[in-house]
Chain A
Amino acid sequence: MSLLAAAGLWGPPGLLLTFALHPALCLRPAPTSGPPHRDYCVLGAGPAGLQMAYFLQRAGRDYAVFERAPRPGSFFTRYPRHRKLISINKRHTGKANAEFNLRHDWNSLLSHDPRLLFRHYSSAYFPDAGDMVRYLDDFADRLGLHVLYNTTIAHVTLNKDRQAWNGHYFLLTDQMGHAHRCSVLLVATGLSVPNQVDFPGSEYTEGYESVSVDPKDFEGQNVLILGRGNSAFETAENILGVTNFIHMLSRSRVRLSWATHYVGDLRAINNGLLDTYQLKSLDGLLESDLTDLAIVKDREGKFRVTLKFFLEEGNQSTDAITLPQDDNDNFAMRVAYDRVIRCLGWNFDFSIFDKSLRLSSGGEFSKKYPLVKASYESKGSRGLFVLGTASHSVDYRKSAGGFIHGFRYTARAVHRLLEHRHHGVAWPSTEHPVSQLTSSIVRRINEASGLYQMFGVLADVVLLKENATAFEYLEELPVQMLAQLETITGRRARHGLFVINMEYGRNFSGPDKDVFFHDRSVGHTEDAWQSNFLHPVIYYYRHLPTEQEVRFRPADWALPRPTAIHHIVEDFLTDWTAPVGHILPLRRFLENCLDTDLRSFYAGHTDLDLTPTTVPVFPAISRPPMGKA
């Protein structure tokens, strides 16, 4: 593998070598014709692009990352504006298990190198963005990832070719007019276009991307902030102590991440304004649709809020424009503002993609993301995958796929899909006798970080062998692709399967829910299904669900209705190893699904020296060899 990786750097001799070693690459036409070819092109050397590059590199694939900036992670050189990352960097958990510790490390990318853990780059719980830049720089360097810096891809088109892996090549044109041809395109460009809402007077607003971050500039001012996300509150937090007051305006009510368990919602670290608002300190929150608004500049150069409706009444001069307070003298925003700051989030940059790619926006929730399938492949063109923040339409407001601690796993899943699709490498799995079933599941639910971070999106799958005497264990499969499991993984699911998913309680979280209600915790194993906090849920299917069943599953179900289901009761310490509270009920569930006995036995009942056996205990008990042979 290292040979192949080096080949990419060395040029022609290496190409020959790869050619010889990889039958799959035989499809590639002779390198003499047309623009330079890559099997995999990654757009953007941000965290997602680098993460994908790492997996491609480890697998010895022919790839390149295109990055317009001179170094990786250029987004973080400017954003967040106030430099504090809100991804936690928990350096201590009291545990040595590296996999478990990734559950509480939201900044590291996945690699085999323990030096490339973010905790070596910052000691702050909420680290500085500069450390992220430094980290990404090291990540690319140390792992020798193949990144073409200062290369801005200005245009991407599709070139049909029946010989291509996907029936077409992706043609990338850079700022110099050089073309690059790719079999697979992995878009990891993030969300780079500030979201602008068009309303009269929007030209008076300053954007989050350019507003001053020096509190001195806000001394004694009345400030109106448009938006209710973390950037809006981060901006407010910075100037809270120097302004007269801050009003925040947005369409919908504030969504607190501790109530929604969605990390993209307002994090407590930024929500100081909520505190001062409720403690009657002149700061406040308002709800209204921005598109109904208008901002007018008065004679003193201050900004007045009015309704678009009034402006449409006629072309009056600024002073003559009707203000809401003219009719209602207690109108909330009747005060004049010194500044209006727009913090309305970001959109995906669709501009470089040719129409032929049919990379459309309009995901279910928002137009800011390109439309992708649960496999992260574009719905418009085969072979185009969206990674990282831009792929968040899959689990927007649900899980962590829009953030490093989530998309580092989805990138790995995409890589595994590609390995099978193009290189005949089946989804990695381990095979065990059924006696190891309980242990295999207990191990994963207690340490797996991918399941924990990407709850509800990535799930482990246990594929049973004939007569359920053995099983294969597959990790972190995009669970909405369950019906297509056989095609995307190259594994067979003919004898039933278990899906191991992590879930919060159904009615537990939401922007308006009280998540601290009395009796919220469930302790009894028989009430496990009512658990509220994140807990493992195991689904048993006698047959692989069909696409129909996945798509038309009951509204509040993560997966289609199973043959049987098991909830492992929530645990305050997220440690599901209690012999009676956790493992015993799980074993009973598995036993009853498989109609077998999964207990371990001592060899003979007379050995008092604790000698567990694996073999039939004695002729009286015609036990099939269940344990380790």
Chain B
Amino acid sequence: MMSSSFNIYRVGISFVMMCIFYKSAVDSLSELSPQKYFSTLQPGKASLAYFCQADSPRTSIFLEELNEAVKPLQDFGISVAKVNCVKEETSRYCGKEKDLMKVYLFRGNILLREFPTDTLFDVNAIIAHVLFALLFNEVKYITTLEDLQNIENSLKGKANIAFSYVRAIGTPEHRAVMEAAFVYGTTYQFVLTTEIALLESIGTEAIENAHFYFFHCKQVLDLTQQCRRTLMEQPLATLNIHRFIKTMEAPLLTEVAEDPQQVSTVHLQLGLPLVFIVSQQATHEADRRTAEWVAWRLLGKAGVLLLLRDSLEVDIPQHANVVFRRAEEGAPVEFLVLHDTELIISRVEGNTHIEEMQEDEDEDMQSPDMDIQDDEVAETVYRHRKTQLPLELTVELTEETFNATVVASDSIVLFYAGWQAVSMAFLQSYIDLAIKLKGTSTLLLTRVNCADWSDLCTKQNVTEFPVVKMYKEGKHPVSYAGMLGTEDLLKFILLNRISCPVNITSVQEAEEYLSGELYKDLVPYSSVSVLGLFSPNMTIAKEDFTKAGNYLRGFVITGIYSEEDVLILSNKYGATLPALLLARHKEGKVESIPFANSRVQDIVQIVTNALLETFPEITVENLPVYLRLQKPLLILFSDGSINPQYTKAILTLVKEKHLDSLTPCWLNLKNTPAGRGILQTYFNALPPLPLIVVVNLHSGGQVFAFPSEQAITEQNLLLWLKKLEAGLESPITILPAQEWKPPLPAYDFLSMMDAAASQHPTRKEPECTKETNMQKNDKQQHEDKRSLLLFF
């Protein structure tokens, strides 16, 4: 997620570059007469002018370089011109013949500097010199250690220093420094030297063309203390300096208490890895000190964060004390156990190292990563493998006991495989369920380990794991198709306590049923109670409804009423027989739906649709149901419960059928913290709430955001939706379509086998030779029968 925004950033950079190239062809040097030139000069604006004779050659190396500098200088707000001096004109800048080759830098119409053209030997030199002249105050040029110390002392507690050494003025490195100074010159004190001795005296080893240091002076309060220094290790180039300064600006150490996978800092955007030092309350102080030390060591190379395990919402492996996350998109979070801080440093530096030498190191580095479990279910199961589950709360069935048990008592059976992670994770939920139901249920909770009783499972038509089936009253078993969790399974079991549909025998009972009184304890698990109303003679319709009820068992309460006095009910609720009454308990409403001529499938569909709310609160559990509608989601993100006015606005829109092509819903971040991650994906940072987005998950993946400055009102929303429909809105982001790629590569055994085959065409050569020798012996034996038996 973070790295995707990094990509965008990079795209941005290259876009700028392209513009430069593109423009440079167009923005050629303007040629003016001296008079014209001076009339164009604006106060405060810098301008570079090359004065030459009108009849001088139209091309020269210098002119080419100058031409190239036009665009970059324009980017810094500096205009460039070639001024043609006509002979009779006597501008003092036109000079005499021998001084023809001069370039002048003006601010407004004040001359700042004049350059002989040989100083400006190429485009880098032009830009470096011009900026150096303009930034005279911002960039201090020094030659001695004393100069440096003076500046350092004067800035302690005030500002940080960007100190650079370049071999000479006008080099590409010098240009890079000057360009950086142009941007950051007011924030940091830039100091420049070309004295190698100065560099040696501050202890730089292996001096190269250029070096860039960041002196952390701002936080130094004790004047006797030296400023910390961080050396930029990348080559001196504009982009590298920019990145380096960005990391210097970032907080040294951040404390977080969220999923390392979700955390985002400037480092990731800059392509640097993140190192999380795992801490807990008890050792927080010490951990913080360690983390700070590590952070200083890794400054400019990685982001360092302190991860507070206690307040963490996700599980991290018990012994892991360091979490490592590479900047590459999709790279898994690595949980490490490192007992020495040096190992953290070397891991980061080692990792940077691979990027450069990928080809050589690939093989060695690949394997440890691939062995890291990146399946979260498998990982937690493995981590808890030694935890003893109270399995005795459920009955273990075998091939011998299975049939007798499910015949003798109503049973719920979990078919699982002991070696399968999802099975074992679900087994834990199943045990939790057993604890919840202990002593309250007549249902026997049982389990079959299909790793042991493979044939039994096959006979029960179980060929994948885990599977839950309910065996009741010797009837055909019902398979559970809900989410693999305690709550949903509990709902399934509880709703299965009553028959489906339940037979209602009197009007009064029907009323109790509709009001939720009859099954008070079950109503919390079924937001809707369905009652089928039939005349006693509607046998086929009743049969179909019964089948539909059977199909829906465990998901919703259904009932059937077909006594002679059914008309009392149908009249009361304004229904024509046969009819479905839907009692929505939360809203206390009963609605009726006619369903003449509907078959089983249709009835199931009607009820399923009725279970959907018009403006539901989305949770992890109910999301799949709404996604199944295959429509773009209109989600209102809310931090806490929703403002009733927003609900009203949206419900009005629904009512007026403006939202038919969408699935409107809202999400409460308090109930569903996972929503934060979503918002971060959409916006890169948490935007202020409430907030409305339209997400087109099923085609395109575009995400549109309702302008946050607008009030969430019916009119505004409608207008926005109309614009959306008309294609006038642009998405804030597009979710990548193909996200479910292999997280890591696999071993390429085919290549390994090929390599082995080509390197050692006969790996067991001695043996092969032996065989041939033996064959030869055989031949000899045939040829010389006389001597044959002598060998024995």
Residues of A within 8 A of B (CB): 95-100, 286-289, 292, 307, 309, 324, 327-328, 330-333, 430, 432, 436, 439-440, 442-443, 446-447, 507, 510, 512-513, 525-526, 528-529, 562, 564-567, 577, 579-580, 583-585, 587-589, 591-593, 595-597, 599-626, 628-629
A562–B376 alpha-carbon span in the complex (Å)? 31
User: With A307-B789, A525-B747, A628-B464 given, is the CB distance from A619 to B740 under 8 Å?
Assistant: no
A605 and B677 in contact, given A447-B454, A626-B740 (Cβ under 8 angstroms): yes
Also in contact, A328 and B623, with CB within 8 A (given A440-B464, A607-B485, A610-B380): no
* A210: min CB distance to chain B, Å: 29
Give A561's nearest chain B residue, CB to CB. Answer: B750
Q: A99-B455, A443-B417, A585-B370 are in contact. Are A286 and B792 (CB under 8 A)?
A: yes
Task: Tally B residues with Cβ within 8 Å of A.
Answer: 93
B759, chain A: closest CB distance, angstroms = 13
Q: Please state if B485 and A623 are interface contacts (CB–CB under 8 Å).
A: no
Nearest CB in chain A to that of B737: its residue? A622
**Contact pick for B781, options A289, A439, A567, CB 8 Å:** A289
**B741: contacting residue among A97, A446, A447, A596, CB under 8 A:** A596
Residues of B near A513 (CB, < 8 A) are 767
A583 to B422, CA, bound (A): 13
Query: With a CB–CB cut-off of 8 A, which chain A residues contact B417?
Result: 439, 443
Whether the Cβ atoms of A620 and B735 lie closer than 8 Å is: yes
Docked-complex contact A599 and B375, CB < 8 angstroms: yes
Are A611's CB and B740's CB within 8 A?
no
Complex CA distance for A331 and B788, rounded to whole angstroms: 10
**B739 near A529: Cβ-Cβ < 8 Å:** no
CA distance A432 to B1 in the complex (A): 32
CB distance from A562 to the nearest CB of B (A): 7
Cβ of A147 to closest chain B Cβ, rounded Å: 27
Q: Beyond the given A595-B741, A619-B695, could you list 16 further A-B residue pairs with CB under 8 A, ordered by the A residue number?
A: A309-B785, A309-B786, A436-B464, A525-B371, A583-B378, A588-B370, A589-B747, A596-B741, A599-B743, A603-B483, A605-B677, A610-B381, A611-B429, A611-B483, A619-B623, A622-B737
> Closest B-chain residue to A587, C-beta based?
B375
Hey, what's the 0/1 contact readout for B743-757 against A, CB within 8 Å counting as 1?
111111110110000
A-B contact pairs, 25 of them (CB 8 A): A96-B399, A96-B452, A97-B454, A98-B399, A98-B455, A307-B785, A328-B790, A332-B792, A439-B464, A443-B454, A579-B382, A588-B745, A589-B747, A592-B745, A596-B742, A599-B378, A599-B743, A600-B377, A600-B421, A606-B314, A617-B620, A620-B1, A622-B697, A623-B740, A625-B624
Query: Contact between A613 and B483 (Cβ–Cβ < 8 Å)?
Result: yes
Contacting residues, chain B, for A587 (C-beta < 8 A): 375
State in angstroms the CA–CA spacing of A247 and B184 once bound together: 98
B766 to chain A, nearest CB (A): 11
Query: Which residues in A have their C-beta under 8 angstroms from that of B753?
Result: 529, 565
Rounded to whole angstroms, the CA-CA distance of A146 and B693 in the bound complex is: 73
**Residues of B close to A601: CB separation below 8 A:** 376-377
Is B329's beta carbon under 8 Å from chain A?
Answer: no
Shortest distance from the beta carbon of B499 to any chain A beta carbon, whole Å: 26
Judge whether B742 and A591 touch: CB under 8 Å: yes
Chain A residues, Cβ within 8 Å of B742: 588, 591-592, 595-597
In contact, B314 and A605 (Cβ under 8 angstroms): yes
Q: Which residues of the other chain, A, contact B672 by a CB distance below 8 angstroms?
A: 604, 606
Task: Report whether A564 and B750 are in contact in the complex, using a CB–CB cutoff of 8 Å.
Answer: yes
> Are A623 and B484 in contact, CB atoms less than 8 angstroms apart?
no
Against A, the Cβ 8 Å flags (1 = close, 0 = not) of B307-326 are 00000011100000000000
Q: Are A608 and B315 in contact (CB under 8 A)?
A: yes
Pairwise interchain contact B743-A439, C-beta atoms closer than 8 A:
no
Given A307-B789, A602-B377, A606-B673: A96 and B746 interface contact (C-beta under 8 Å): no
Sorted from nearest, which 4 A-B pairs have the closest CB atoms? A332-B792, A577-B419, A591-B742, A611-B485
**B740 engages A615 (CB within 8 Å):** no
Q: Is the CB of B789 within 8 A of A567?
A: no
User: Could you tell me the distance in whole angstroms from the C-beta of A504 to the nearest C-beta in chain B?
Assistant: 14
Is B674 among interface residues, defined by CB-CB distance under 8 A?
yes
Across-interface contacts of B315 in A (CB, < 8 A): 608
Min C-beta distance of B254 to chain A, whole Å: 20
In the complex, what residues of B have CB within 8 A of residue A606's CB? 313-314, 672-674
* B289 contacts A by Cβ under 8 Å: no
Q: How far is the CB of B374 from chain A (nearest CB, A)?
A: 7
Q: Does B349 contact A (CB under 8 A)?
A: no
Q: Indicate if the CB atoms of B789 and A526 lie closer than 8 Å.
A: no
B621 touches A603 (CB 8 A): yes
Residue B645 CB within 8 A of the other chain:
no
CB neighbours of B673 from chain A (8 A): 604, 606
Proximity bits, B281-310, A CB within 8 Å = 1, else 0 = 000000000000000000000000000000
| CB pair A615 B623 closer than 8 Å | yes
Chain B, 425-444, contact with A by CB distance < 8 Å: what is the 0/1 string? Answer: 11011001000000000000
User: Is B367 engaged at the interface, CB distance under 8 Å to the other chain?
Assistant: yes
B619-636 CB mask vs A (1 if < 8 Å, else 0) is 011011001000001010
Pick the contact of B425: A324, A589, A612, A629 (CB < 8 A).
Answer: A612
Question: Once bound together, how far apart are the Cα atoms of A518 and B23, in whole Å?
Answer: 70
How many Å from the CB of B459 to the closest CB on chain A? 9
Q: Is B678 an interface residue (CB 8 A)?
A: yes
